[in-house]
Amino acid sequence: MPRLPVDGVKVQELRITLGTKERQLLQDVSTSYRIQSLDIDGMLSYLEDPARIVQIAYGIATVLEMFGIETGLPTVGDLPELIQWLREKREYTDPFTGEPGRRSFWDVLMQLWSGELVPGGSWPGGY
């Protein structure tokens, strides 16, 4: 409901009704205006650095994996699987006594770094 102005004179309301064709034309004009306002040179200069391209790719991969689309890249969404894999690798059987034991997390990381944990095996997630 329009408010009355301070001087008490009646407020007049103007209404413009657009048809389907006019709304489509207005939407096309709005879209073309937005496209013209894009700075293509700025975007291309942003992509000159390979590290930025990798950042963009991993950002897109992370978003896709959040929606349930597996990308094949190790992302933040794979952390629970990685943690479970590391927990499984901590468990071992002593080759001399046959007793079960647990490695320290540091030992697991060192063996992972040296390649001892994955000889012929697979990384978490199949990487």
Q: Confirm whether 22 is domain-assigned.
A: no
Does 16 fall in a domain? no
Give the span between the Cα atoms of 68 and 55, in whole angstroms.
20
d(CA 10, CA 87): 76
Q: Is residue 64 part of a domain?
A: yes
> What pLDDT is stored for residue 122 in this prediction?
59
pLDDT of residue 124: 57
In Å, what is the CA distance from 10 to each residue of 1, 26, 30?
12, 32, 34
Tens of pLDDT along the chain (127 residues) come to: 667 667 767 777 788 888 999 999 999 999 998 888 888 887 788 788 888 888 888 889 888 888 888 888 878 777 788 788 777 777 777 777 777 777 777 777 777 777 676 655 555 555 5
In a domain, 27, yes or no: no
Residue 15 is predicted with a pLDDT of: 87
78 and 68 assigned to the same domain:
no
pLDDT of 39? 81
pLDDT at 20: 92
Residue 30 lies in a domain: no
Q: Do 66 and 78 fall into the same domain?
A: no
Residue 78: inside a domain, yes or no?
yes
94 and 109 in a common domain: yes
At 8, is the secondary structure helix, strand, or coil?
coil
Instruction: Quote the number of domains for the chain.
Output: 2
pLDDT score for 1: 60
> Residue 16 in contact with residue 22, Cβ under 8 Å?
no
- Residue 92, beta-bridge partner list: 101
The confidence score (pLDDT) of residue 28 equals 92
- Is residue 25 assigned to a domain? no
Cα separation of 74 and 124, whole Å?
A: 9
- Indicate whether 89 and 112 sit together in one domain: yes
Domain that holds residue 57: 39-73
In a domain, 93, yes or no: yes
Same domain, 45 and 65: yes
How many angstroms separate the Cα of 92 from the Cα of each of 62, 112, 118?
33, 14, 14
